[in-house]
Amino acid sequence: MDNIKDNRYYLNKIITDLAFIIEHTKELSPEKLEKDEVLVDSVMFRLIQISENSDKLTEDFKGYHNSIPWRAIKGMRNRIVHEYGNVDMTVVYDTVKKDIPVLLSELEVISLL
């Protein structure tokens, strides 16, 4: 058998990255995000990894769990990668504070199925 990983593996990687972002941005303000280059790089890297791992999930899996905003996840990655120096930190902050916790909760439920 080759080294192909399954959906559960990639789902767990995504959950780990989401939890990391939440843990390291608990006391985050928009101003702190703007000024903390190491934190920005770390969060951006994790957001890219989340998208890359979501791309490795099967289409059947993503279709079955179509309440998850797979396309938006990919869109965020594309914005970060292709416009890295010009990414709107307000969008990143809102994603971290509003979208990431909801996404983590939804994916944790899916991981228990």
Q: Got the DSSP string for 36-98?
A: -HHHHHHHHHHHHHHHHHHHTS-HHHHHHTTTS-HHHHHHHHHHHHHSGGG--HHHHHHIIII
Half-sphere exposure of 111 (CA within 13 A, CB side): 15
Check whether 50 has a pLDDT greater than 90. Answer: yes
Mean pLDDT of the chain, nearest integer:
94
**pTM of the predicted model as reported, rounded to 2 decimal places:** 0.92
Give the Cα separation of 56 and 59 in Å (integer): 9
pLDDT at 83: 84
Give tens-digit pLDDT for 22-36: 999 999 999 999 899
Element of type H or E holding 104: helix 100-111
pLDDT at 1: 36
Check whether 3 has a pLDDT greater than 70. Answer: no
Banded pLDDT at 4 (limits 50, 70, 90)? low
Average confidence (pLDDT) over 55-80: 96
Q: Domain-by-domain residue ranges, the chain?
A: 41-113
Give catalytic residues, as residue numbers.
77, 82
pLDDT at 5: 84
